[in-house]
């Protein structure tokens, strides 16, 4: 069963200020078996039609009231007064209901060794947990996959699948670290309270990033993803550390009852999807175990069982209709021919018709003598989109569906040079693809060590020395090595090599005795001040919200640092070079991690080859040239591409030799 820790205040969070609250499968690292030259990706054409955009569906106010009423009735039947939140697909909070007697706060899981740092053992308003769970159910899902917070729990822990007493060699979850995305400080995420056309545009931020605590499920209407529901009732915001059994989780039953009539199609729920031979988890709750009839009306419960409540920074005390994803008002819509060549592409918009991230040239001319041109950025995005359009999806049903992802490109300052996405890519990948691109550019840059060493936090600063000692390289983090996100992810695991129990932790991680999903290492250390400030704002303890920029790294342009939405530590990005000179990076997210790797790597290669002058890092400086001496030598990985990845060819090892 899921273990629940005792509630107690976090001294670390109080100190922050606010509180209530295998070897590489390609890219120069593969084995010695000769492989054929990969078939080139066709030059992108302006035609589309490979993807069918989701139908325009949205939750009405009546729909939201029905979801709330069904969840409230189940909570009453189970004797667990709860806070229940409903969102639409792009993260707008459509209603938050606090039942009479519901706990005011929830607390994250404590550190295994009891020394709580980062976001461990943090107490925060329960509304924040309910919203984060609802957003997670909506953001991780799509028309081809329905994921829940239980799914998230399975794929973010130190072993996959998580279970006590695991066999050495069981690697971390494929989306290890994704919980620190959609952060409340992200410069990509939009905020509640915007006026006019911008009011409903997404993706909206989450108060706590993505949730791994069961009790968050997606909502579908006529088979179309329209949002999510989240429940916070037991006061403990944790994760399921043992997937070998079936939990009897009241929060999950309450959320499931709320989905009655808006259930995920059974053909696409997570338990129909496998990763490395392991079936994912969707819900341990079933409708057979639901105790309520679902017949009570919202009107009969509102004011009697509790009340709609406002949540600072997220919602008014009212029920609001959702926005149809794919419309201008949702903030994500089909691109125009002038915005992107492939007619299948979607872009982020400001609600008034303008692309928020139009393709442009690099902004880093003051420190980079040869910035990416607009034509080069466009070529990389176009070719990455073409690779995605041919790729076989890992996490979508039916089998042999096309991959759907978001693709971001940045310069060496972390400035966005363009974002495009397929029509039905999961929303979470939008913020994550940008995190990945910025992470690859940052760690491959000459300034990484210096900027981290200049941080006011001694905890952040110590990761620089730890990395240089671990790699036995005093020049590490000074631009001598090209780091893909897979490489940095290797160094961010609580065991090195990943999953090898009893081994030391990577230099960018916490040791296993300290680690849990709320404290991953440098990733969490960089943004914990932002998270603390935001939760203080939500709770009313502080009048000031976190700024719309994560981390306290120094500015590289007025109002901009290199990691404005935090870092990411699972695969799917590569830096881009002009010869030996770093000029930017590409990040991809939304499908399997090997698919994300391949799309970024081949996108950089093919786009660079088409325009000439740019491409992937020279093989001699890629991170897979580094061998770490931890007993036996262990080589870092750069990228890993899937076997037979394309729908239009049986070619294998498509990244080898490039």
Report how far residue 44's alpha carbon sits from residue 67's, in angstroms, rounded to the nearest whole number.
Answer: 44
Q: In 10 A of CB 192, how many CB atoms? A: 17
Question: What are the φ and ψ backbone dihedral angles of 144, each rounded to 5 degrees?
Answer: -115, -10
Q: Tell me the pLDDT tens digit for each residue of 409-460.
A: 999 999 999 999 999 999 999 999 999 999 999 999 999 999 999 999 999 9
Task: Give mean pLDDT, residues 619-623.
Answer: 98
> What is the three-state SS of 547-559?
CCCCCCCCCCECC
Flag whether pLDDT at 616 surpasses 80.
Answer: yes
β-pairing, 581-589 with 406-410?
A: antiparallel
Homologous superfamily of 357-493+552-635: Haem-degrading domain (3.30.450.150)
The reply to whether 61-313 and 357-493+552-635 are identical in fold is yes
Strand residues in 456-562 grouped as ranges (E)? none
Flag whether pLDDT at 3 surpasses 90.
Answer: no
Which of 576, 549, 140, 195 lies closest to 383 in space, CA to CA? 576
Task: Give mean pLDDT, residues 43-67.
Answer: 87
Flag whether pLDDT at 42 surpasses 80.
Answer: no
Q: In 10 A of CB 472, how many CB atoms? A: 11
Give the whole-number percent of the chain exceeding pLDDT 90: 90
Helices marked H in 420-546 — which ranges? 428-444, 448-453, 458-470, 485-490, 522-539
- Who contacts 563 (Cβ-Cβ below 8 Å, separation ≥6)? 414, 438, 439, 442, 526, 550, 551, 553
> What is the three-state SS of 177-234?
CHHHCCCCCCCCCECCCCCHHHCCCCCECCECECCCCCCEEEEEECCEEEEEEEEECC
Supply 228's token pair: 């999510």
Return the C-alpha torsion angle 287, 289, 290, 293, nearest 10. 90
CB 495 within 8 A of CB 158: yes
Residue 45 per-residue DSSP state: -
3-class SS at 71?
helix
pLDDT on residue 10: 36
Stated as kind and residue range, the H or E segment containing 137 is helix 126-139
Question: What are the φ and ψ backbone dihedral angles of 214, each rounded to 5 degrees?
Answer: -50, 145
Expressed in angstroms, the distance from the first to the final Cα of the chain is 47
Which of 549, 524, 545 lies closest to 534 in space, CA to CA? 545
Q: Tell me the pLDDT tens digit for each residue of 369-418.
A: 999 999 999 999 999 999 999 999 999 999 999 999 999 999 999 999 99
Chain CA centroid to CA 48, Å: 27
Q: In 10 A of CB 278, how many CB atoms? A: 14
Stated as kind and residue range, the H or E segment containing 332 is strand 332-334
3-class SS at 5?
coil
Structural domain spans, the chain? 61-313, 357-493+552-635
pLDDT on residue 28: 38
pLDDT on residue 630: 85
Supply 12's token pair: 């670390």
Give the whole-number percent of the chain exceeding pLDDT 70: 93
3-class SS at 250?
helix
Flag whether pLDDT at 540 surpasses 60.
Answer: yes
Q: Tell me the pLDDT tens digit for each residue of 266-279.
A: 999 999 999 988 99
By the 10 Å C-beta count (0-12 exposed, 13-18 middle, 19+ buried), 307 is classed as middle
Q: Which fold has domain 61-313?
A: Beta-Lactamase (3.30.450)
Flag whether pLDDT at 44 surpasses 60.
Answer: no
Supply 658's token pair: 């490039």
Flag whether pLDDT at 45 surpasses 60.
Answer: no
Which of 65, 135, 224 lies closest to 428 in space, CA to CA? 135
CB 69 within 8 A of CB 301: yes
Say what angle helices 126-139 and 522-539 make with each other, to 10 degrees.
120
Which of 477, 447, 508, 570 lies closest to 156 in space, CA to CA? 570
Report how far residue 501's alpha carbon sits from residue 591's, in angstroms, rounded to the nearest whole number.
Answer: 28
Report how far residue 438's alpha carbon sits from residue 448's, in angstroms, rounded to the nearest whole number.
Answer: 12
Specify the residue for token string 């993260």.
91
β-pairing, 105-108 with 236-237?
A: parallel
pLDDT on residue 47: 61
pLDDT on residue 169: 85
Flag whether pLDDT at 631 surpasses 90.
Answer: no
Supply 624's token pair: 């897979």
Flag whether pLDDT at 1 surpasses 50.
Answer: no
3-class SS at 419?
strand
Return the C-alpha torsion angle 341, 346, 352, 357, nearest 10. -70
- Who contacts 250 (Cβ-Cβ below 8 Å, separation ≥6)? 75, 78, 80, 233, 234
Stated as kind and residue range, the H or E segment containing 308 is strand 306-308
Report how far residue 262's alpha carbon sits from residue 223's, in angstroms, rounded to the nearest whole number.
Answer: 8
Task: Give mean pLDDT, residues 478-496.
Answer: 98
Q: Tell me the pLDDT tens digit for each residue of 305-330.
A: 999 999 999 999 999 999 999 999 99
Q: Tell me the pLDDT tens digit for each residue of 12-33.
A: 343 333 333 333 334 433 333 3
Flag whether pLDDT at 158 surpasses 50.
Answer: yes
β-pairing, 416-421 with 581-589?
A: unpaired
Cα angle 275-176-482, degrees, rounded to a multiple of 5: 105
Question: What are the φ and ψ backbone dihedral angles of 415, each rounded to 5 degrees?
Answer: -70, 140
- Who contacts 413 (Cβ-Cβ below 8 Å, separation ≥6)? 362, 363, 364, 367, 556, 557, 560, 562
């Amino acid at each position: 069963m899921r273990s629940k820790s005792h509630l107690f205040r976090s001294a670390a969070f109080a100190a922050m200020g606010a509180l209530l609250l295998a070897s590489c499968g390609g890219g120069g690292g593969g084995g010695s078996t000769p492989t054929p030259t990969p078939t080139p990706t066709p030059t992108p054409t302006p035609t589309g039609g490979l993807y069918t955009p989701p139908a325009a569906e949205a939750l009405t106010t009546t729909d939201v009231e029905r979801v709330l009423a069904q969840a409230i009735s189940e909570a009453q039947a189970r004797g667990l007064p709860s806070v229940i939140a409903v969102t639409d697909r792009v993260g707008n909070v459509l209603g938050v209901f606090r039942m009479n007697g519901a706990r005011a706060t929830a607390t994250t899981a404590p550190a295994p060794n009891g020394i709580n740092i980062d976001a461990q053992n943090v107490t925060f308003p329960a509304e924040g947990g309910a919203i984060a769970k609802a957003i997670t159910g909506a953001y991780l899902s799509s028309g081809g996959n329905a994921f829940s917070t239980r799914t998230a729990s399975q794929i973010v822990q130190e072993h996959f699948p998580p279970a006590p007493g695991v066999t050495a060699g069981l690697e971390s979850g494929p989306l290890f670290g994704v919980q620190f995305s959609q952060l409340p400080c992200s410069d990509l995420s939009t905020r509640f309270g915007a006026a006019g056309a911008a009011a409903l545009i997404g993706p909206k931020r989450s108060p706590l990033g993505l949730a791994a605590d069961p009790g968050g499920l997606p909502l579908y209407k006529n088979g179309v993803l329209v949002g999510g529901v989240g429940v916070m009732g037991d006061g403990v915001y944790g994760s399921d550390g043992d997937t070998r059994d079936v939990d009897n989780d009241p929060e999950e039953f309450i959320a499931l009852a709320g989905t009655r009539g808006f259930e995920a199609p059974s053909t696409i729920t997570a338990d129909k999807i496998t990763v490395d031979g392991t079936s994912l988890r969707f819900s341990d709750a079933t409708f057979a175990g639901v105790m309520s009839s679902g017949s009570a009306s919202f009107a009969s419960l509102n004011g009697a069982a509790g009340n709609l409540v406002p949540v600072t920074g997220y919602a008014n005390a009212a029920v609001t209709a959702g926005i149809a994803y794919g419309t201008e008002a949702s903030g994500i819509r089909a691109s125009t021919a002038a915005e992107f060549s492939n007619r299948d592409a979607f872009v982020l918009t400001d609600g008034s018709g303008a692309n928020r991230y139009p393709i442009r040239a690099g902004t880093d001319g003051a420190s980079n003598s040869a910035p990416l041109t607009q034509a080069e950025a466009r070529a990389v995005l176009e070719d990455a989109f073409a690779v995605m359009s041919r790729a076989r999806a890992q996490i979508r049903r039916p089998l042999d569906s096309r991959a759907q992802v978001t693709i971001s490109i940045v310069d060496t300052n972390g400035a966005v040079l363009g974002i495009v996405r397929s029509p039905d890519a999961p929303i979470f990948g939008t913020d994550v693809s940008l995190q990945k691109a910025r992470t690859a550019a940052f760690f491959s840059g000459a300034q990484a060590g210096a900027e981290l060493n200049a941080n006011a936090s001694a905890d952040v600063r110590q990761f620089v020395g730890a990395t240089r000692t671990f790699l036995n390289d005093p020049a590490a983090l000074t631009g001598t090595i090209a780091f893909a996100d897979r490489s940095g992810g290797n160094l961010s695991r609580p065991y090195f090599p990943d999953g090898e129990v009893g081994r030391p932790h990577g230099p960018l991680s916490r040791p296993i005795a300290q680690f849990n999903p709320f404290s991953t290492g440098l990733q969490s250390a960089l943004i914990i001040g932002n998270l603390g400030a935001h939760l203080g704002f939500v709770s009313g303890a502080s009048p000031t919200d976190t700024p719309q920029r994560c981390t306290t790294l120094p500015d590289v342009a007025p109002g901009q640092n290199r990691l404005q939405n935090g870092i990411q530590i699972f695969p799917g990005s590569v830096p881009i070079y002009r010869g030996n000179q770093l000029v930017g990076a590409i990040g991809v997210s939304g499908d399997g991690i090997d698919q994300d790797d391949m799309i970024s790597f081949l996108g950089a290669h093919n786009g660079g080859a088409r325009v000439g002058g740019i491409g992937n890092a020279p093989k001699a400086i890629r991170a897979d040239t580094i061998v770490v001496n931890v007993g036996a030598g262990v080589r870092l990985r750069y990228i890993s591409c899937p076997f037979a990845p394309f729908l239009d060819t049986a070619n294998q090892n498509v990244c080898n030799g490039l």
